[in-house]
Structure 1
Amino acid sequence: MGSLHEKNEGNTKQYKNQLDEETLFIVSQTFKALSEPTRIKILHLLAERPHSVNEIAERLEMLQSTVSHQLSFLKNLRLVKYKREGTTMIYSCDDAHVMGVLEQMIDHAQHH
């Protein structure tokens, strides 16, 4: 079984393509976003199609303030985006890679 750090003559060899601090931060923040059940529910719902804050709150039976707070967190990480339609903000997914990971994890959990 291999590891990121393999032994070479008693010394630890640095692995190729070492992650920089910015990449590590983004990855850890993305996993932090996906570690909260409310945010998972919101992202899963937005994977269907774009929704307004009110639609999300209604579908997930949550307070609008809770949904808005979580959407703000997800927007700051560029996991969701929004467009204005009149006075309504319509939210949608903004990162296909993260959504792919989320859907794979949901599939994994449901078939476990």
Structure 2
Amino acid sequence: MVSDNFKILSDITRLKILQALYQRELCVCDLTAVLEANQSNISHQLRVLRSKNLVKFRKEGKMAYYSLADEHVVKMIEMGVEHATEKR
């Protein structure tokens, strides 16, 4: 449901994760450094984002690299930023 996606995006940590992944694919350790947050919190938020198909991951050895799930998520972020920075 659309309301579920907005609910997911209302959490500042999840939004920051999506914004970081908008720039490039990152592993959990990179996200913890960028967001200055603890690993367990980032991992938990990534599980929430994965459950709603907003992010995907790929394994490379023991490392998991996360990225935005598809172009729809990219558009949601771009539209949100555009709306927030729009002059009124």
Give your verdict on TM over 0.5: yes
Q: Could you say what secondary structure the match of 2:57 adopts? A: strand
Q: How does 1:1-80 map to 2 (within 5 A)?
A: 26-80=1-55
Q: Paired residue for 2:62, among 73, 82, 87?
A: 87
* Alignment length (residue pairs): 87
Runs of 4+ in 1 over 4 A off after TM superposition: none
Distance in 1, matches of 2:78 and 2:41, equals 23
1:50-103 Cα shifts (integer Å, max 9, x gaps) = 000000000110101110000000000010000111101100000321321222
* SS of structure 1 residue aligned to 2:64: strand
Distance in structure 1 (CA, Å) of the matches to 2:76 and 2:66: 19
- The higher-RCO structure (CA 8 Å, 6+ apart) is 2
Q: CA deviation at 1:110?
A: 2.4
The structure with more helix, counted as a fraction of residues: 2
Task: Give me the TM-score of the superposition, normalised by structure 2.
Answer: 0.91
- The Cα of 1:111 is off from its aligned counterpart by 3.2
Q: Give the TM-score taking structure 1 as reference length.
A: 0.73
Deviation per CA, 1:16-46: give whole Å up to 9, x if none. Answer: xxxxxxxxxx211111111111111000100
Structure with larger Rg: 1
Root-mean-square deviation (CA, aligned residues, Å) is 1.1
What are structure 1's unaligned runs of at least 5 residues?
Answer: 1-25
Partner Cα distance (1:95, 1:28) in 2: 19
